[in-house]
């Protein structure tokens, strides 16, 4: 807002009516490019209630006190303000607006109990039940806010600073509404900064809500032009669609299209959960379509891990494909290893079955209902492949039975599974070698009755 010079001295000599507009009597004390504020009388029941007191302050400057209602506008801009009363101090170039204050211009509308306007730096400080909206659809509320107007030679862009844990709704699709739209991005934080209504910074105890996700963090940046959101310091994110997911890490970045997330990335100690699958890695990217998770990729420093109940896959990088919300395949690349818990109803073993190779591809039942807990079909290891599998002995299938161990190596190893997720067979191709360890019948003993070695003596 260009400077609001309160030219009210003439009001003590000129009767103010609804159709009368005050001329500017003191342009000499108005710096160049300041707002040339004009007052119109406020009429209640046919009576003009506005009254003015002028008090000389210094040569060429006065202080003005306006009561009974304020209705003013800038003759050289689109700014307008209404209030119950106003005070203007000429030497300080300071204006106080008190009671039911409403300030409007093309870019912003601001309502508050009180507004203090600092003319020199084009700064409005609003206090008490602050509500406002911008021309691009942002709606905000809180106990206090500071609005810095753009002005040539002072600042190129406007800025809004809100403290006291304000609420802000960002909705470019509904810019003409004074209330938040259903597709709004809702942000709550201890303090919020809006830079030119394009970049929004939220600081301390941030809560982010959108129709497609909910997030928390200690700080956040929203870039409306790029449709990007950055969550920092202990961020957490949850999807709210029909296929919910959870994501956390040291940093989370959200990339959207038409106000729906299509890529979500966690960097640094990332962890993602969807249905029965948990993915951990240094970096994780989730790809979404129509609020459904369709692909998860994990990579970075250290090892990546994909875990299902009773099953794990370790590798340098892991790619989980879930088209149409159904788990289809898990591809593990780089020193890959798949482990599974043996069937405790048939054998007794503390060891896990495992399959290792340069690359492992696990495929899942393509006819399963939309559920990430789909049954596994095959696990294929290629490149220096190894397999360690345990199974029940012929005609012996009891919980306390010692297993048959089948260890093989080859160029490619394929493990096939039954619909109940039990191992069906293992196929080996190229440079095959291995061994089978078959325990004797006398080896069938409860695990708890096995002798333990005597303790070591010093």
pTM of the model as a whole: 0.81
Q: Is residue 4 within 8 Å of residue 79, measured between CB atoms? A: yes
**Residue after which a domain boundary falls, among 77, 106, 135:** 106
Q: Name the token pair of 74.
A: 């800038």
Q: Is residue 46 within 8 Å of residue 6, measured between CB atoms? A: no
* Residue 72 to residue 88: CA distance in whole angstroms: 13
Q: Name the token pair of 182.
A: 């259903």
Query: Residue 126 falls within a domain, yes or no?
Result: no
Query: Residue 231 falls within a domain, yes or no?
Result: no
Query: Residue 25 falls within a domain, yes or no?
Result: yes
Query: Residue 122 falls within a domain, yes or no?
Result: no
Check which CATH number belongs to the domain holding 404 and give it: 2.60.450.10
- Domain tally, the chain: 2
* Residue 451 to residue 434: CA distance in whole angstroms: 29
Mean of per-residue pLDDT scores for the chain: 83
Q: Give tens-digit pLDDT for 80-130.
A: 999 999 998 888 888 899 999 999 998 899 999 999 988 888 899 999 999
Alpha-carbon distance values, 339 to 284, 363, 412, 419 (Å): 21, 15, 17, 18
* Residue span of the structural domain in which 48 resides: 1-106
Q: What is the model's pLDDT at position 41?
A: 81
Q: Give tens-digit pLDDT for 119-169.
A: 888 899 999 999 999 888 889 999 999 999 988 888 899 999 999 999 999
**Residue after which a domain boundary falls, among 70, 88, 106:** 106
Query: Residue 71 falls within a domain, yes or no?
Result: yes
Query: Residue 60 falls within a domain, yes or no?
Result: yes
Number of Cβ atoms within 10 Å of the Cβ of 78:
11
Q: What is the model's pLDDT at position 20?
A: 40
Query: Residue 130 falls within a domain, yes or no?
Result: no
Number of Cβ atoms within 10 Å of the Cβ of 181:
16
Query: Residue 102 falls within a domain, yes or no?
Result: yes
* Residue 122 to residue 5: CA distance in whole angstroms: 12
Residue 9 has pLDDT above 70, yes or no: no
Q: Give tens-digit pLDDT for 438-447.
A: 876 544 444 4
**Residue after which a domain boundary falls, among 89, 106, 123:** 106
């Amino acid at each position: 807002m260009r400077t609001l010079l309160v030219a009210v001295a003439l009001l003590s000599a000129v009767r103010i009516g609804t159709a009368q507009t005050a001329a500017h009597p003191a342009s000499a004390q108005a710096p160049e490019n300041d707002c040339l504020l004009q007052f119109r009388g406020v009429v209640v029941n046919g009576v003009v209630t506005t009254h003015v007191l002028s008090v000389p302050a210094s040569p060429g400057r006065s202080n003005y006190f306006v009561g009974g209602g304020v209705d003013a506008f800038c003759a050289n801009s689109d700014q307008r303000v209404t209030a119950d009363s106003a005070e203007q101090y000429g030497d300080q170039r300071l204006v106080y607006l008190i009671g039911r204050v409403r300030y409007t211009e093309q870019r912003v509308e601001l309502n508050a109990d009180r507004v203090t306007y600092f003319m020199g730096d084009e700064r409005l400080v609003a206090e008490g039940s602050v509500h406002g909206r911008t021309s691009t659809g942002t709606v905000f509320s809180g106990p206090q806010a500071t609005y810095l107007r753009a002005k040539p030679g002072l600042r190129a862009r406007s800025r809004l600073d809100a403290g006291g844990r304000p609420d802000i709704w960002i909705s470019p699709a509904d810019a003409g509404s004074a209330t938040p739209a259903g597709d709004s991005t809702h942000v709550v934080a201890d303090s919020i900064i809006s830079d030119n209504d394009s970049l929004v910074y939220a600081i301390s105890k941030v809560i982010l809500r959108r129709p497609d996700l909910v997030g928390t963090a200690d700080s956040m940046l929203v870039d409306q032009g790029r449709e990007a959101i950055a969550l920092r310091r202990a961020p957490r994110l949850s999807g709210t669609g029909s296929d919910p997911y959870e994501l956390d890490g040291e940093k989370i970045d959200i990339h959207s299209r038409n106000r729906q997330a299509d890529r979500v990335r966690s960097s640094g100690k990332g962890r993602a959960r969807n249905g029965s699958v948990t993915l951990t890695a240094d970096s994780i990217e989730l790809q979404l379509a129509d609020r459904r998770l369709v692909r998860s990729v994990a990579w970075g420093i250290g090892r990546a891990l994909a875990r299902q109940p009773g099953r794990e896959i370790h590798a340098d990088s892991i790619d989980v494909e879930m088209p149409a919300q159904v788990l289809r395949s898990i591809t593990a690349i780089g020193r890959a290893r798949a482990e599974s818990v043996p069937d405790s109803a048939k054998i007794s073993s503390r060891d896990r079955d495992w399959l290792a190779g340069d690359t492992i591809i696990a495929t899942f039942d393509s006819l399963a209902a939309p559920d990430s807990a789909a049954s596994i079909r095959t696990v294929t290891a290629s490149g220096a492949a190894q397999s360690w599998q345990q199974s029940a002995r012929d005609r012996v299938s009891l919980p306390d039975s010692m297993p048959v161990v089948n260890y093989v190596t080859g160029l490619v190893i394929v493990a096939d599974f039954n619909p109940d997720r039990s191992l069906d067979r293992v196929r080996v191709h190229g440079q095959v070698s291995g061994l089978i360890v078959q325990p004797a019948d006398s080896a069938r003993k409860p695990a708890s009755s096995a002798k333990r070695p005597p303790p070591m003596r010093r």
